Amino acid sequence: MESDEKDLYSMHELARQAGIAYTTLSCFLRVHGERIPSEKRGRLRFFPPRAVEIVREIVRENAAHQGRKVRRRTREKAASDEAMRFIDRATKRLAEVTAHLDTAYQLLLNNSGSIVLSLRTLAPGLVFRQTVEILLEPDGADCVARLFEVNLCAGGRTRREAMENLRSVIVETYRELMRTDQEHWTRELRERAALAGMVREARPKIKGSGGG
């Protein structure tokens, strides 16, 4: 029996000859069992010398496959990293622009004299058809915001408060004009009738819409 097994390797010997772990060889036998020649003696399996080179060949194939996967992951990661760099730069620029706009707005609001601000949005879903100019001027310790086109004004302790109060007055006056029949308009509403043509409902943006 001993002389018959001189040219056969046990699993431990085959793993050692091929330079791999016993558990790796066990995995190879499950996946590539038909490629690796062997013979059974009882419950044990033995392998001829040529099995060593076949196992080494499977090792090389697996290494090449893993190399391709690594290279593919590297390309994908490089593209992802580049995209994230662009997003980071854009986010930083957006933050800078937002900060500059806020600073400019604060400078205007904190100016001690009269200033003129442009106004387009009135309330959610309600805008001026064209941008209008609002005069903000001091009124003692307070401030007054005026829309001269329709002779509307509102006061506040600060310019921001006066601006917001004027928005509310404009919206309320516009809605009063819209829900009241023209023949029932009061003299005050008739004086502000031009507001009906200056304001419109904002159209909601529909995502993915296109011409057809």
- Walk along the chain (212 residues) in steps of 10 and give the mean pLDDT of each run: 61 90 88 88 88 91 74 69 81 83 68 81 91 90 91 92 94 94 92 92 63 42
Q: What is the pLDDT of residue 139?
A: 86
Q: Give the per-residue pLDDT at 68.
A: 67
| Confidence (pLDDT) at 146 | 94
Other C-beta atoms closer than 10 Å to the C-beta of 192 total 21
What domains are there in the chain, each with its CATH number?
Answer: 3-63 (1.10.1660.10), 112-201 (no CATH)
Closest CA to 166 of 147, 150, 141, 148: 147
Give the per-residue pLDDT at 161: 93
pTM of model > 0.85: no
pLDDT at residue 47, rounded to an integer: 93
The pLDDT score that the predictor gives to residue 72 is 62
Specify the residue for token string 């006056």: 173
